[in-house]
Amino acid sequence: MKKSNFIALILGTIGVVFFALGMCMAMLPEWGMFNQRIVCGAIGLVVLLITVFVWRKMEGKAPIKLNGKAVGAVVVGVLGALLLGVGMCLTMVFGKMVLGIAVGLVGIVVLLMLIPLTKGIH
C-alpha cells in the first residue's frame, strides 16, 4: 500500500467516524446533544475535506478546478444522496413502504447518473 493511500485511509476513517457520530446524535433526540452533534459533524466534514487535499498533494495531482462539470457533479451527487435518504426515511420512519422504495430507487438512478457524467461514455 502506498503511503498516500494509507494516510487517506486513516484520515478518511477519522472523518467518517466523526461525521457519522454527529449524524447519530442528530437522529436520536433522547441523547439531548444537539449542539455537540453540529460540532462533531463539522469536525468530520473538515477532516474529510483535508483528506482530499492531502491525498491529492501526496499523489502529485493538480488541485481540483471548479468548473461547471465539477459543480454539476456535486449537485447531482447531493441530490441523489438526499433522495436515497428520504426514501429510506419514508420506509423506515414513516412506514410508507411503496413511496419510500420508489423515492429511494430514483435516488439510486440519480447517483448512477454520476458515472457517465464524470467519466463519460466510451
Q: Using pLDDT thresholds of 50, 70 and 90, give the confidence band for residue 82.
A: very high
Whole-angstrom Cα distance, residue 31 to residue 37?
10
Q: Residues 39-79: pLDDT tens digits?
A: 998 999 999 999 999 999 999 988 877 898 889 999 999 99
pLDDT value for 118 = 87
Q: Using pLDDT thresholds of 50, 70 and 90, give the confidence band for residue 34.
A: confident
- Quick check: 108 pLDDT over 80? yes
Q: Using pLDDT thresholds of 50, 70 and 90, give the confidence band for residue 26.
A: confident
Q: Using pLDDT thresholds of 50, 70 and 90, give the confidence band for residue 120.
A: confident
Q: How far is CA 37 from the centre of its chain?
A: 17
- Quick check: 96 pLDDT over 90? yes
Q: Are 56 and 78 in contact (CB under 8 A)?
A: no
Check residues 63 and 21 and name the one with the higher pLDDT: 21
pLDDT value for 69 = 87
Burial state string for 37-62 with b = 16 or more CB within 10 A and e = fewer than 16: beebbebbeebbeebeeebeeeeeee
Q: Using pLDDT thresholds of 50, 70 and 90, give the confidence band for residue 93.
A: confident
